Amino acid sequence: MDLDFSRAEQDFRAEVRDWLAAHVPAPLPSLDTPEGFAAHRAWEAELAAARLSVVSWPAAYGGRDASLIDWLIFEEEYWAAGAPARVGQNGIFLLAPTLMAFGTEEQRRTWLPRMARADDVWAQAWSEPEAGSDLAALTSRAVRADGGWRLYGHKTWSSRASYASHGFGLFRTSGARHRGLTYLMFPMDEVTVRPIAQLDGLPGFAELFFDGVLVPDSMVIGEVGDGWRIAMAATSSERGLTLRSPGRFLATADRLVALARDADPVLADRAVRCWTDAEAYRLHTFGTARRLMAGEEAGPATSMGKVFWSELDLRMHTLAVELLGDRAGETPWLDGFLFSLAGPIYAGTNEIQRTIIAERVLGLPR
């Protein structure tokens, strides 16, 4: 049990820190606007050119074969430097781990290097109007056709789909609730996309309408009918580690403490508690990373992390907005606050996570 970073880990941190200090741009326009989306893609390309966009991936796909600990170090530095949001995050943190675990080598070689440079930006297309928490109730279909599969149906709440080039999601290939689902990728070209404005007024989501789009077999991930298992494997990494690493919350906590420096002790106490909770998430994650590096599965315990980080993020932004009062809108805190409100909803609501913890971690009856 120690917290001593090796020489190599320290050198890596220094390299990342120096590079970011020299390259992080002034705040970009929101990635939910056309100009902002383009600017964020350009930033991803710049990161990729320094081989910093996906450090934990194999070098063959644009990464550095970095360990999970290195990746956590990268994330700490990235968010501390105030670097831009990651426009490709749903591809990088959800689709890529799925392709690494269940895809073919051809799929990995085709899609991962392009994803690493944000040549393609991927949207997640899981949810449907009648299938939210009850994801397996989804009804969008993939029908066997000459040369592949034809997609039909209606997906919604797909983040960044307003501008994304590709999507990935679950489609029904037979009636069986779980065994009838297949994981597919598709280009957005022939999908009808209807942007949906979020609380901030920008089209951060979109609805997707499929009317017989044809995708070749090479766009199927894993076996036909194995989509549920593949998707669930991806969610444990989404909830636990990769989607929201500690670095983001540590940076927010540091800024919150600076904001609360001269605040009334009651408010300052809330800020410091958030800071120590962000530390708890960091340390907890170091423990999880070690277990993963030793070959263990993340498993349902990652649901605890999802509840913890989302509720911490909400507390931090709520306090910041309270401290700033009318001036909140002149700072990035207001947008951050609006986004933090979504944390307990996306990636599986916190109610669903608590049920998972109770049943699969604690062993309470269904």
Catalog residues that contact ligand FAD under the rule CB under 6 A. Answer: 90, 124-127, 132-133, 157-159, 342, 345-346, 349, 351-352, 355
Q: How far is the CB of 166 from ligand FAD (least distance, A)?
A: 13
Cβ atoms of 322 and 258 within 8 Å: the answer is no
Q: How many residues bind another protein (CB under 8 A)?
A: 49
DSSP-assigned beta bridge partners for residue 182? 171
How many of the other CB atoms lie within 10 Å of CB of 97?
Answer: 20
154 binds another protein (CB under 8 A): no
Q: Which does 164 bind (CB under 5 to 8 A by kind): ligand FAD, another protein, none?
A: none
The reply on whether position 281 binds another protein by CB under 8 A is: yes
Residue 157 binds which entry of ligand FAD, another protein, none, CB below 5-8 Å type-dependent: ligand FAD
Closest by CA to 179, choosing from 130, 136, 216, is 136
Q: What is the CA radius of gyration of the chain?
A: 20
Instruction: Specify whether 238 is catalytic.
Output: yes
Q: Of the candidates 100, 143, 199, 364, which one interacts with another protein according to CB under 8 A?
A: 364
Q: How many CA atoms lie within 13 A of 303 on its CB side?
A: 20
Q: Which is nearer to another protein, 79 or 308 (CB)?
A: 308
Cα 244 from Cα 237, distance rounded (Å): 10
**What token pair was written down for 82?**
């105030």
Three-state DSSP class for 58? coil
- Residue 276 touches another protein, criterion: CB under 8 A: yes
Set 44, 105, 238, 351: catalytic member = 238
| Non-local CB neighbours of 178 within 8 Å, separated by 6+ positions | 136, 228, 229
- Is the CB of 67 or the CB of 124 nearer to ligand FAD? 124
Question: What are the distances in angstroms from CA 12 to CA 1, 42, 64, 70?
Answer: 22, 24, 11, 7
Taking contact as CB under 8 A, which single stretch among the options 178-186, 229-237, 258-266, 325-333 is the one that binds another protein? 258-266
Instruction: By CB under 8 A, name the one of 27, 175, 265, 325 that touches another protein.
Output: 265
The answer to whether 19 and 73 have CB atoms below 8 angstroms apart is no
Shortest CB 217 distance to ligand FAD, Å: 23
